[in-house]
Chain A
Amino acid sequence: MQISIASVDSVIIYFSQEISQEISLIVKRAYSILKDLDNENFIEIIPSYTSILLTYDINKYDFKTLKKDLEDLLFGIKVDVNEEKSIITVDVYYGTDVGLDLQHMSDKTQLNIEQIIELHTSKLYDIYAIGFMPGFAYMASVDDKIAMPRLENPRKKIPKGSVAIADNQTAIYPKDSPGGWNIIGKTAFELFDKNLESLSPLSIKNQIQFNSISKEEFLSQGGVL
């Protein structure tokens, strides 16, 4: 663990230089420890793949004191990779009418579309970070066979609910947005809902299971083609 200055009122805590499931769990545990302190002097806590950014009240802490407190608090966190997590199932309609890059991916991978869907729905995904836009969860890792680089020319508009792949990561676009990920399907699942107390049904503590549904089911769930 290394604690570095980020700005006059922020530090960044690095847990590793490499992405792994274990490091992600350590980040999540450290995030919970910091959150559970309910310390009003911790203004923002942003967990990501291998780090946590902490913005603090400099009227209550100076950098040196905070660094020492954090080292005492977070040193030597142990995690169990097999620990059970709460699973959220996301229904996806994988059709070429909404999965704009399915055919292209099929050409490139030599897999047929059914095989791509099978591979995408056969794994449980961890959430490594939430950012880029509200509710945008970076999930990993997709099977190497369907890992796919970002589009050379990003789209000006990726429709809300699009399920997409970039390298070995997968994500759902919470709203219309420009973007360069490969779109393989669409969901009616809301990732960012102003009516929810929590704003988003997802947190980094969840695991995601994608489930293939028919066009009819998708439409009956309120999905829009």
Chain B
Amino acid sequence: MMGFEVIKSGIFTLLQDRGRFGLTHLGVSNSGVMDEYASLMAHKMLSNSLEDNLLVVVFGNIELKAHGNTVMCVTGAKCELFLNDIPLSTWKNFKVNSGDSIKIGKILEGQRVYLAVKNGFDIKKEFLSNSTTVKEELGGINGKQLKKGEFLPYKSTRSFVNNRLKQEFIPSYIEEVLTLRVVLGYQEENFSQDEKNKFFSSTYEVTADFNRMACRLKGEAIHSNLEGIISEGICFGAIQIPKNGQPIVLLKERQTIGGYPKIGSVLSIDCFKLAQRKVGSKIRFENIDIEIAQNKVRDFYNVFNNE
């Protein structure tokens, strides 16, 4: 069988795709890649289907041995990438021959490295998706993170297109303050104008409480006139404001319903940028009108959909 043998798995490497949809009414999380820009770009470079799966490496230190020829593209966080111990740049396709070793060492800038192969890995989907949700034991290989000794099968290929993404399209993950655009919604009417002004004029910081489920921020406390709310559905990017007033941005592996007041939601395409920020990064929020926001999101996906 052709595929990668996992020599070193890294601490928390996950198989992901765009997510598991249509089961939230049963409490099953959407899951899926946290940074769709980097992951979809990897697939586009390889002319893959956007629904294909790939590996997400969060803490670096992974080594794979190829059994069979393929083509790869590594995107996302800036990292040490080696093919047979020779350094390679990311955001660029490269040929892999049978017997080759692919290593990712340290992650230098950003949080998540996406490692894609031509046509994705041949792994059986669970409820229409390969996305790994560890707490639900769904997707991936046995619902868990990658382990040493496991095998990731792919179909061998020799067809190689030497794509390299232009520098101007490669995101920087270290700008001083990241602006997240917010569509007001949910319980926004229960936040006074003063509280909203505070929210949109303050600078927040990413705390260590940041995982696939949510990102907790710290900074100026915001308050609504609500104690709590009747539990309701939570969408991607929703900004919960718990009693302590510190915003929580809900991400891909969020629980499906919850009872904290929400001021609105961060644009999906800005959540992808947030996904690459490290603890201590500075964040500010900017209000955006729904019509403009929808156009921004449509433009984002048109880059990947229009071939």
Contacts and interface: CB of A to CB of B under 8 A. Distances in A.
Interface of A: 4-10, 12, 17, 19, 31, 43-53, 55, 58-59, 62-63, 129-136, 138, 192, 194, 199-200, 204
Contact of B27 (A4, A19, A136): A136
A135 B264 CA distance: 27
Q: Can you list the 10 inter-chain pairs with the closest CB atoms, starting with the nearest?
A: A53-B233, A46-B233, A7-B265, A131-B257, A5-B185, A10-B235, A131-B256, A131-B27, A7-B235, A134-B27
Contacts of B136: 133-134
A5 B293 CA distance: 12
Chain B contact residues: helix, strand, loop or mixed: mixed
Contact of B298 (A17, A58, A132, A138): A58
B21 interface: yes
Interface string B254-289: 011110000011011000000000000000000000
B84 interface: no
Residue of A4, A17, A138 with most partner-chain B CB within 10 A? A4
Given A7-B238, A8-B297, A44 B231 contact: no
A137 to B, nearest CB: 9
Contacts of B231: 48-49, 129, 131, 138
9 contacts: A7-B235, A7-B236, A8-B297, A31-B25, A44-B24, A46-B256, A63-B294, A133-B136, A199-B26
A19 B230 contact: yes
Chain B residues touching A, range: 35 or more
Contacts of B135: 133
Contacts of B119: none
A110 B21 CA distance: 47
Contact of A51 (B26, B184, B232): B232
Nearest to B184: A5
Given A44-B30, A53-B233, A129 B257 contact: yes
A9 B22 CA distance: 15
Contacts of A9: 235, 268, 294, 297
B186 interface: yes
A190 B94 CA distance: 47
A60 to B, nearest CB: 11
B239 to A, nearest CB: 10
B183 A46 contact: no
A200 B24 CA distance: 12
B233 A8 contact: no
A32 to B, nearest CB: 11
A121 to B, nearest CB: 25
